Amino acid sequence: MNLRTKVLLTDGFLAVLALAQVWLNVDEGVLWPLAALFAVVTVAATYAGEHGVTGRLPGSGAVQTVALVAVLGTAILAGGSLLGPDLVTSVLLAALAGLGVGMLCYRAYFGVVRPVPAARLERARRGQV
């Protein structure tokens, strides 16, 4: 399997999994405007990561990932304690919906319409998701 196909299948599969989770829990309520915002943020973050923008940030990729997970984890825990579980569930479903739609749109453009960026192909060659 060539690298382009591997990237398209991997990213597409992850996006479909996120959307399937939303579809299975859509009766919980999804904040669709927030999902649209998450989709835009997903596209912007993926573009930044694959086009070298994040390479200019301080710290290694591992440090950046740990910092992002720490901030998001704290925000989710704080939101859960302040807003209540129902609203947090709606926000998390909106995040999953936005992630899935954003990734599908981004990969359709940078994968089908235009070539997959070299940085993403290199990560696929090394076996990183």
Interatomic CA distance for residues 39 and 101, integer angstroms: 6
> By C-alpha distance, which of 104, 101, 105, 92 is closest to 31?
92
**pLDDT (tens digit per residue) in 39-55:** 998 898 888 888 877 66
What's the confidence (pLDDT) of residue 73? Answer: 72
What's the confidence (pLDDT) of residue 52? Answer: 74
- Residues 6 or more apart in contact with residue 97 via CB below 8 angstroms: 18, 19, 22, 30, 32, 35, 38, 39
Amino acid sitting at position 75: A
Query: For residues 90 and 76, which has the higher predicted lDDT (pLDDT)?
Result: 90
Interatomic CA distance for residues 100 and 76, integer angstroms: 19
Tokens of 7: 């990237």
Query: For residues 118 and 58, which has the higher predicted lDDT (pLDDT)?
Result: 118
Query: For residues 63 and 45, which has the higher predicted lDDT (pLDDT)?
Result: 45
